[in-house]
Structures are given as C-alpha cells and as structure tokens.
C-alpha cells in the first residue's frame, strides 16, 4: 500500500460484480483513494461519510440499480461527480444526461483514469468557485466581529467550517490548488 | 523443495517471516504467472499479485502467529485464488489454488435463479392481465388495465397503449403507467413522424423487440437519447389484434438488458390477442346492448368508388344486399337491376380495388354478383371501422350508403376515415330505437312465410336428427317418413331454410 503525503481524491466504485469493481479499483490506485461497494445499498452507506468526490457507478445491478442509486444521491444533494458505467455505447455526449459522464464496459485502463481525472478537475473548479464565495463571506463577517467574539458567533463558525472543508477537498482534487488558493488569498479586499 | 511438494497440484511457497520467498513449486509459478527465478529470493509482497483486500501483503506486515485461509479475487490475473498461510517456527508456508471456476459457476447459478424468478413473476402477471381483460367493460378500461398491470410492476419501467386515430395513420397515447420519464414525452413528440417502434408493430401486426434501445438506429434519436438517460434498455411493442384487425399497440419498456426472450415475447403476444379480442367484443357489446342506434345516410358519389363507377359505366342500378367482412377484405352481395349484367362485371373487374367478382345468378331483369372489395374502398373502410352497413344503392353517378352504429361511437372519426380518401357528404343522421324482435314475433313472421309442406319437412328432419352431425337420419329416411321422394324433401328443406335464414338476417324475400 502506498502512503503519500499529498491527499488523493476519494473515489467509490460500485459494481455488483466484484471482479469488475476490483479491477477498476486497482487501476485507480495511486490516482485516488479508492473504496469499492458490491451493491447499491452498500454504496449509499459508504457515501454517507467521509465525503466522496467521484463515484463510478455500474448501471445494471440486481436489486438497487445504478439509476436508483443516482436518484438517491440527487435526493441527498450529493456534491460529487458520478460516472455511469453502462454495457452499451449509444455514442451520445452527456450534456443533458442525469450523470456527469459515462463509460462503456469493458473499460480501457487509460479511459477510466482519464475520465476520473477530468471529473476531479471539473469538481475541483466548481468547489473553488464555492470556496471563493464562502471565503469572501467569512472575511466580511471577520471584519465586523472582534477576534475574541468570533468563536461564539454561530454564523461565523459555520462559514469557517465550510471554508475549511472546501479547502481540503480542493487540495486533493486540483494539482495546482496551492497556487490558486494563494493567489486568491493575496488579493486585498478589505479595503483598509 | 522435496519431491512431494514440488509435484503437488497445488501452489506451494515457503517464505521467510521477513517476507523473502525461499522456495516455491512449479504450480505456484503457474498460478502467479511468473518464472521460478522471478519468485525465489524476492519479497512476497512484491511477487504476490494485488487484490483489493491485499491480505497476503498485510499478513507479512504484521506478526503472523496463526493459520489464515481466504479466497480473494486478483484482477491482474483475472483469477480467484484460495490462499492458506501456515506459519511454522522458521517460515510461513503458502498454499495457493485456483478457484475461479467454482466462483463463476456460482455466479451462473445465481443468474439462472434470477431468470427463473423473473419468469415466475411474469407468468403470474400475465394471468392477472388476462383475468382483468375478461372483466373489462370498454376499450379505455382495457388500455388502462394493460398499462397499469405492466407499468406498475418491478419488472418493467413503464407501459403505454397507443391507438391509431380513426381518421388517419397517426398514433395517439390512449393510456400510460409507470415511470415513463422523458422517454414517453419524446415518444409523444415523435408520434406524428411514424418513427416510433410501436408504429412498426401496428403496421405489421407483429410484435417488435428492440434491445438495446440506446444504439438501435431504427429508433428516432430523441427517443434513444431519452431512453438512455432514463436507463431503459429493452422495449417490446405488441399489437392488439383480433383476426386481421389491429386495434392498437402496447409498448413495454424496461431497464433490463435483453429482457425480452422468445418466451416472453410469445406470452405478450397472447396478451395482445386477448386484448384485441376483448376490444372487439366490447365494440359489439356496445352495439348490441344499446337501445338506440345512430343511423347515417351518406352520399358517396365519388367516381373512384367501385360501385359508383360500375353503375355509371353500365348505366344500371346496383343494390348491395348484404356484406360479410373477411379479414381486410369485404364480401358484398350485389343485386343488379337491368341488363346486360356483363357490363357491370367488366367494370368491376377492371377496378384496382376489386379483388374478385363472381356471378351468382342471372335472370331476365338482372342478376346477382359476389364482389370481393379491398380494404381501401368506401365500404371496406366503413366495415373496418366497425359500423354496420345496412344499405347501399348505386345508380349513374350516384351512391348512397346507410350505416348503423352505437351512439357511443365517434361518428366524426368514422366519417373522416372515409372522407380522407373519397368524397363524402352526410345526408341525414337519425337516432332511433333499435328494432326488437321477440322470439314469438320471429316465429309468427316465419310461419307466415313457410308453407305447410316446408314446415313439415323442416320439423320432421329436425326431430329425426337430420341436422345433427353425424346425421341421426339420412335424407332418404326422412323422405320415407313423410312419404315423399328424396329430391322433393331436399327441395322443401332448402326453401324452408332459405326463408328461415332470410327472416333471421332480416332480408326481404319475395319468393
């Protein structure tokens, strides 16, 4: 097992066929921190905590199908990317599909890595946008409340936690995250 | 390694506690897919392939103080291996065997069991549908029943019933149930272009299976897109047929791959036939049970109509005495007033919509023809729309047809079905009480018609079981009983039967 200093994006692979799920998981080793689930129900349990960034979801599973899992994720307002794994290739782009990307079985070793890294990047930038908004808000509140009162201020604590969580996710999703975050921090906004 | 271990049909590796492989047999090398030289002297965590659980590697990372056995999947090898780790004082012994076949067999068994469950559920479902159809009161209830039963099970995502608009070829959605999602929306949008798979089923009268839907080019792309987004994989379109009439179509959609086997398809075809039968029955029931009928006089003087053309060409009067639908075709019995009757048959035979004519009888003032009309003639279209043709008269450049239908029938649609192809005007529309003939009235009317000899002959023949099959008495025996000759008996019987049937079929008989 590899222990690396840089945090990796978290991926969950869901396929009722252990052989398939395990094969993908090994392919993504080193690129992601990978978990596997061999059924829809288990997948939903694993998705509760901690936060998963990318889900590779087999569409056709007995019992709870990939589409069922997807519907549940929508209900929970899952904040991550879903790559659907299907058996057929209709040759469509995914712009108006209910998932973020799809791959057709059998998946080429490189395809799965490229698709996952693309989605990591897309998610990373989306979260970066959210982070910028949250961080600006935090700074506005920070400017208004004296330093020793902030710890007791609910609104401030909440936005601060949100900022920390987003920062952590962005770090593992984007290679150039350090530079991006630094550049954002360097801009003086308080105007004083 | 001793000979016993070296030749074992089981992979054996002896490993130092620190992880270095001391020795291994040939079977172990085969299983791990590498040469002996690549294994011996190397670290077991490097030599042994990766699995998700990585139990071999983790066992050597910690202190292995007791025996461990497990089965794991090794994606790199595409094999399942059963592994036993047995620690001894000096070494750890690994015993490895390939158990892939038994895993795959287990998987196959599960799949077969799932298939069996599916078939059982399907059979129950279909018998429920059939039971419901028997009780269904009308066309809409039939459509609703099928959709509800098929669309609301776990087997299928949704079902819809389409029917052709009587005035045209377009399909309309009559009922739908289940998770129809975006797919049904797209189907509805495509109905006018005839690019929906259900169109093919209704046109051909045979079921259509499409699986997978996503990459079948015959399906319009918007539908395929929506089906893919909705996760639908297979579809089955079953026509609702009775004889040669197609009353509609059911589309069944499912997320399952290759869901419709030959067996499922056959079961569904039975549902289609039962539904067609039920629809047909309700139409007739509507007509039979209603106390009133709607009677329409139609002017169909279109020169392209076969009988209008024949009457014009021959300058004679034609009267349709009776019609018998035969699948798509319509048999018409046409009386010709005037002569020569040949000119009528010449004109009819040259008409593209007339399939056959046969002269039944000819007399000085005219004759009788049997004419087989195609479906796309005014009378063919009317008969196909389920109405009763009660009269049709033709003279030079002129044709009038009287039809009867149930008040529940949509008259506009019936008219449109004909007027799309032929000029037609409605001359009159009447609603009237249905003629009710009681059994007594029928008998009285018949008695007036039958001569005593005819009635006697019929009665004797009937009670002598002459009409049974096989006959209780033959013609000779009945004739002897009546003290008449065989030919005379047959003459009386035929005359009597003709009158009986004429009264039954409500035809005026002058003879």
What is the three-state SS of B433-451? ECCCCCHHHHHHHHHHHCC
DSSP three-state, residue B319: strand
CB-nearest to B231 from A29, A62, A67 is A67
- Judged against a pLDDT cut of 70, whether residue B507 lies above it is answered with no
Residue B400: per-residue pLDDT: 95
Any B CB within 8 A of A92 CB: yes
Residue B289: per-residue pLDDT: 67
Residue B508: per-residue pLDDT: 53
What ipTM was estimated for this complex? Answer: 0.83
Per the structure block, which two tokens stand in for B435?
């003629």
Residue B324 CB coordination number (10 Å): 12
What is the rounded average pLDDT of the residues B18-24? 93
Residue A1: per-residue pLDDT: 43
Residue B92: per-residue pLDDT: 94
CB-nearest to B215 from A25, A36, A88 is A88
Between chain A and chain B, how many beta carbons pairs sit less than 8 Å apart?
59
B421-430: pLDDT as tens digits: 899 999 998 8
What is the edge-to-edge ordering of all strands in the sheet holding A54-58? A33-37, A10-14, A54-58, A81-86, A101-104
- Judged against a pLDDT cut of 50, whether residue A13 lies above it is answered with yes
Any B CB within 8 A of A96 CB: yes
- Judged against a pLDDT cut of 90, whether residue B405 lies above it is answered with no
The whole-angstrom distance between B40's CA and the closest CA on chain A is 22
What is the rounded average pLDDT of the residues B182-197? 88
pLDDT band per the 50, 70, 90 thresholds, residue B438: low
A49-66: pLDDT as tens digits: 778 999 999 998 888 889
B440-457: pLDDT as tens digits: 677 777 778 888 888 888
The whole-angstrom distance between B270's CA and the closest CA on chain A is 28
Q: Which residues of chain B are within 8 Å of residue A2 when distances are taken between CB atoms?
A: none
Nearest CA in chain A to B233: A88
Looking at domain B439-504, its CATH class is mainly alpha
Q: Which residues of chain B are within 8 Å of residue A23 when distances are taken between CB atoms?
A: 75, 78
CB contact under 8 A, A91 and B215: yes
Q: Which of B136, B156, B389, B374 is nearest to B240 (CA)?
A: B136
- Cα–Cα separations (whole angstroms), residue A96 to A82, A99, B190: 14, 8, 19
CB-nearest to B228 from A17, A23, A90 is A90
CB contact under 8 A, B73 and A18: yes
Q: Which residues of chain A are within 8 Å of residue B215 when distances are taken between CB atoms?
A: 88-91
- Judged against a pLDDT cut of 70, whether residue B290 lies above it is answered with no
Least confident stretch, A131-140, A182-191, B160-169, B406-415 = A182-191
The C-alpha atoms of residue B345 and residue B363 are separated, in whole angstroms, by 15
CB contact under 8 A, A87 and B231: no
Work out the mean pLDDT of chain A and round it to a whole number.
87
- Judged against a pLDDT cut of 60, whether residue B510 lies above it is answered with no
CB B155 within 8 Å of CB B261: no
The whole-angstrom distance between B120's CA and the closest CA on chain A is 17
- Judged against a pLDDT cut of 50, whether residue A192 lies above it is answered with no
Nearest CA in chain A to B76: A23
Any B CB within 8 A of A68 CB: no
The whole-angstrom distance between A100's CA and the closest CA on chain B is 11
CB contact under 8 A, B215 and A22: no
The whole-angstrom distance between A96's CA and the closest CA on chain B is 8
B54-98: pLDDT as tens digits: 999 999 988 888 999 999 999 999 999 999 999 998 899 999 999
Give the containing element (helix H, strand E) for B269.
helix B262-289
The C-alpha atoms of residue A15 and residue A42 are separated, in whole angstroms, by 10
Residue B253: per-residue pLDDT: 95
For chain B, the 3-state helix, strand and coil shares in percent, each to the nearest 5, are 40, 30, 30
In sequence order, the β-bridge partners of residue B160 are B176, B251
What architecture is domain B108-287? 2-Layer Sandwich (3.30)
CB contact under 8 A, B231 and A66: yes
Any B CB within 8 A of A60 CB: yes
Q: Which residues of chain A are within 8 Å of residue B255 when distances are taken between CB atoms?
A: 60, 65, 67
Residue B315 CB coordination number (10 Å): 11
CB contact under 8 A, B225 and A92: yes
Any B CB within 8 A of A36 CB: yes
CB contact under 8 A, A62 and B114: yes
What is the rounded average pLDDT of the residues B230-243? 89
The CATH 3.30.450.40 portion of chain B extends over 108-287
What is the rounded average pLDDT of the residues B228-255? 88
DSSP three-state, residue B496: helix
The C-alpha atoms of residue B4 and residue B430 are separated, in whole angstroms, by 104
Residue A31: per-residue pLDDT: 93
Q: Which residues of chain A are within 8 Å of residue B233 when distances are taken between CB atoms?
A: 60, 88
What is the rounded average pLDDT of the residues B45-55? 92
- Judged against a pLDDT cut of 90, whether residue B384 lies above it is answered with no
CB B175 within 8 Å of CB B160: yes
The CATH 3.30.450.20 portion of chain B extends over 3-98
The CATH number of B3-98 is 3.30.450.20
- Judged against a pLDDT cut of 60, whether residue B509 lies above it is answered with no
Residue B437: per-residue pLDDT: 63
How far out from the chain centre does Cα B481 lie?
Answer: 54
- Judged against a pLDDT cut of 50, whether residue B511 lies above it is answered with no
A25-39: pLDDT as tens digits: 999 999 999 999 999
- Judged against a pLDDT cut of 50, whether residue B280 lies above it is answered with yes
CB-nearest to B75 from A26, A59, A97 is A26
CB B374 within 8 Å of CB B351: no
Q: Which residues of chain A are within 8 Å of residue B76 when distances are taken between CB atoms?
A: 26
Per the structure block, which two tokens stand in for A1?
């097992």
Any B CB within 8 A of A66 CB: yes
- Judged against a pLDDT cut of 60, whether residue B167 lies above it is answered with no
Residue B375: per-residue pLDDT: 87
Nearest CA in chain B to A96: B229
Nearest CA in chain B to A71: B230
Least confident stretch, A176-190, B87-101, B239-253, B397-411 = A176-190
Q: Which of A36, A22, A29, A37 is nearest to A8 (CA)?
A: A29
Scored b (16 or more CB within 10 A) or e, B104-136 reads eeeeeeeeeeeeeebeeebeebbeebeebbeeb
B91-138: pLDDT as tens digits: 999 999 999 999 999 999 998 998 888 889 888 998 988 888 888 878
For chain A, the 3-state helix, strand and coil shares in percent, each to the nearest 5, are 55, 15, 35
Any B CB within 8 A of A59 CB: yes
């Amino acid at each position: 097992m590899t222990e690396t200093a840089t945090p990796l994006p978290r991926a969950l692979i869901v396929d009722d066929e252990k052989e398939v799920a395990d094969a993908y998981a090994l392919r993504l080793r080193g690129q992601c921190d990978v978990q596997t689930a061999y059924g829809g129900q288990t997948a939903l349990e694993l998705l509760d905590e901690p936060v998963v960034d990318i889900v590779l979801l087999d569409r056709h599973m007995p019992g709870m199908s990939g589409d069922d899992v997807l519907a549940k994720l929508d209900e929970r307002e899952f904040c991550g990317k879903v790559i659907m794994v299907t058996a057929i290739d209709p040759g469509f782009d995914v712009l108006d599909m209910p998932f973020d990307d799809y791959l057709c079985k059998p998946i080429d070793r490189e395809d799965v890595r490229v698709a996952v890294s693309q989605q990591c990047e897309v998610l990373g930038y989306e979260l970066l946008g959210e982070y910028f908004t949250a961080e600006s808000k935090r700074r506005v509140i920070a400017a208004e409340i004296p330093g020793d009162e902030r710890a007791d201020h609910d609104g401030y604590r909440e936005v601060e936690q949100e900022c920390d969580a987003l920062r952590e996710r962005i770090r593992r999703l984007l290679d150039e995250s350090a530079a991006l975050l630094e550049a954002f921090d360097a801009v003086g906004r308080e105007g004083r | 390694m001793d000979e016993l271990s070296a030749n074992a049909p089981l992979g054996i590796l002896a490993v130092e506690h620190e992880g270095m492989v001391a020795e291994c047999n040939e079977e172990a090398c085969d299983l791990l897919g590498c040469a002996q030289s690549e294994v011996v002297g190397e670290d077991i965590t490097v030599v042994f392939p990766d699995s998700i659980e990585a139990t071999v590697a983790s066992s050597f990372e910690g202190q292995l103080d007791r025996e461990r056995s497990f089965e794991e999947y090794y994606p790199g090898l595409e094999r399942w291996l059963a592994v036993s780790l047995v620690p001894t004082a000096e070494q750890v012994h690994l015993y490895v065997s390939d158990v892939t076949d038994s895993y795959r067999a287990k998987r196959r068994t599960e799949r077969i069991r799932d298939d069996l469950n599916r078939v059982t559920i399907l059979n129950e479902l279909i018998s429920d549908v059939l039971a419901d159809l028997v009780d269904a009161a009308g066309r809409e209830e039939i459509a609703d029943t099928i959709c509800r039963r098929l669309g609301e099970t776990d087997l299928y995502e949704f079902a819809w019933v389409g029917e052709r608009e009587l005035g045209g070829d377009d399909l309309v959605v009559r009922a739908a149930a289940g998770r129809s999602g975006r797919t049904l929306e797209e189907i509805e949008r495509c109905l006018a272009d005839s690019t929906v798979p259900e169109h093919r089923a209704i046109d051909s009268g045979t079921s259509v299976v499409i699986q997978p839907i996503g990459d079948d080019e015959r399906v319009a792309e918007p539908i395929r897109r929506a089906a893919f987004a909705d996760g639908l994989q297979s579809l089955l379109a079953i026509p609702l047929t009775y004889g040669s009439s197609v009353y509609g179509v059911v589309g069944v959609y499912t997320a399952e791959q290759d869901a419709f086997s030959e067996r499922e398809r056959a079961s569904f075809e039975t549902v289609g036939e039962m539904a067609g039968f039920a629809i047909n029955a309700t139409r007739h029931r509507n007509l039979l049970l209603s106390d009133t009928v709607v009677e329409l006089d139609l002017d169909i003087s279109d020169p392209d109509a076969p009988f209008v053309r024949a009457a014009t060409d021959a300058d004679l009067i034609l009267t349709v005495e009776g019609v018998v639908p035969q699948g798509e075709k319509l048999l018409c019995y046409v009386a010709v007033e005037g002569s020569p009757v040949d000119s009528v048959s010449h004109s009819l035979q040259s008409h593209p919509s007339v399939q056959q004519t046969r002269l039944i009888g000819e007399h000085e003032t005219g004759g009788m023809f049997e004419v087989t009309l195609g479906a796309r003639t005014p009378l063919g279209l009317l008969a196909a729309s389920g109405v009763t043709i009660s009269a049709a008269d033709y003279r030079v450049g002129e044709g009038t047809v009287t039809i009867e239908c149930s008040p529940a029938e949509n008259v506009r649609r019936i008219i449109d079905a004909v007027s799309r192809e032929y000029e037609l005007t409605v001359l009159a529309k009447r609603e009237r009480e249905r003629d009710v003939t009681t059994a007594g009235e029928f008998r009285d009317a018949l008695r007036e018609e039958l001569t005593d000899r005819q009635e006697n002959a019929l009665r004797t023949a009937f009670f002598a079981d002459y009409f049974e099959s096989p006959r209780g008495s033959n013609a000779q025996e009945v004739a002897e009983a009546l003290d008449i000759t065989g030919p005379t008996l047959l003459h009386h019987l035929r005359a009597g039967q003709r009158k009986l049937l004429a009264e039954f079929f409500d035809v005026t008989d002058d003879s």
